[in-house]
Amino acid sequence: MLCRPVRAEEEHWAAARMGRTGYITVPILSVLAAIGYVYYTTVFLAIPAWLGLSTAAGLANAAVFTALAAACVATYAIAVSRDPGRVPASFVPDVEDAGSPIHEIKRKGGDLRYCQKCSHYKPPRAHHCRVCKRCVLRMDHHCIWINNCVGHENYKIFLVFVLYAVIASFYSMVLIIGGAVHLPKDEQPGSDSSRTAIIVCGVLLCPLALALMVLLGWHVYLILHNKTTIEYHEGVRATWLAEKAGNIYHHPYNLGVYENLVSVLGPNMLCWLCPISRNIGNGVRFRTSYDIPLSTSPM
């Protein structure tokens, strides 16, 4: 008589493990290894060759870069471990709620969005992740480099991590170029030489810094328009269909530049780049342009 409940409980925990994120994977180890290699090469090879660690300038640059590297590791760890946002089990859309002027519906049939795999309704901007095997609030994308979805709860920390990584990458490139230029000319090249390590690090940093810069620019664009990556691609199709029908598509969550920034980064401008503070809202309800009075149209 106990076989059925035990099996049901095992299936429940198996499903929970499959949907759990934050496990250490090869991409995560690769990111940590890259951070460690760049840090070692910059602080212990490039700075001593250019400025010297015993000088005030060398110590100051080493301290600043160490702080940047620590911020990168801390924000990266939070992005990996923080849950992106789970749909509350009790969530049911209230179509008669006057406070919710719009409801997202399916493209086919016009019904309220319902996840057959999770067996619950989807809040606005939520989507089902096939990797995490569950719905994620305000899902942007699933990132293999953090083995986690980027959603409502960890989107800001993900953005801050990318920003810190861009700053650290370009800062490291400056120090590495300076270190490579000031290396002794008589040093023999070899696999273990400082020159080889600095050159290899510089070669790796160039495409890495460029990719991070493009990623940061992309997400800054999305924030300014209050879109997710999924909503951007959906908006492209919606715009095409609207123009085909002679209409104009307007993204309903675009509140204007400042309000868009506040909705993601928080109301306090001094904490916008702070990795501790979170964004506002519960991830279930979002302000829309229909909530703004007609006299104050979005920017």
Domain contains 66: yes
Number of structural domains (the chain) is: 1
Which of 115, 118, 143, 271 is catalytic? The answer is: 143
* Domain presence at residue 188: yes
Residue 216 CB contacts under 8 Å (≥ 6 apart), including other chains: 159, 162, 163, 166
**How large is the C-alpha radius of gyration of the chain?**
24
Q: What range does the domain containing 267 cover?
A: 23-271
On whether residue 3 sits in a domain, the answer given is no
Alpha helices in the chain (DSSP H): 3-19, 26-41, 47-50, 56-81, 155-181, 194-224, 229-244, 257-265
Residue 187, domain member (yes or no): yes
Indicate whether 194 belongs to any domain.
Answer: yes
pLDDT of 110 over the 80 cut: no
Please indicate, yes or no, if residue 282 is contained in any of the structural domains: no
| Known catalytic membership, residue 72 | no
**For residue range 132-179, what is the model confidence (pLDDT) as tens digits?**
999 999 999 999 999 999 999 999 999 999 999 999 999 999 999 999
Q: What is the pTM assigned to this prediction? A: 0.85
Whether 92 is covered by a domain: the verdict is yes
Tens-place pLDDT, residues 251-298: 999 999 999 999 999 888 888 888 876 677 889 988 888 775 544 444
Rounded to whole angstroms, the maximal C-alpha distance in the chain is: 81
Residue 10 domain-assigned (yes or no): no
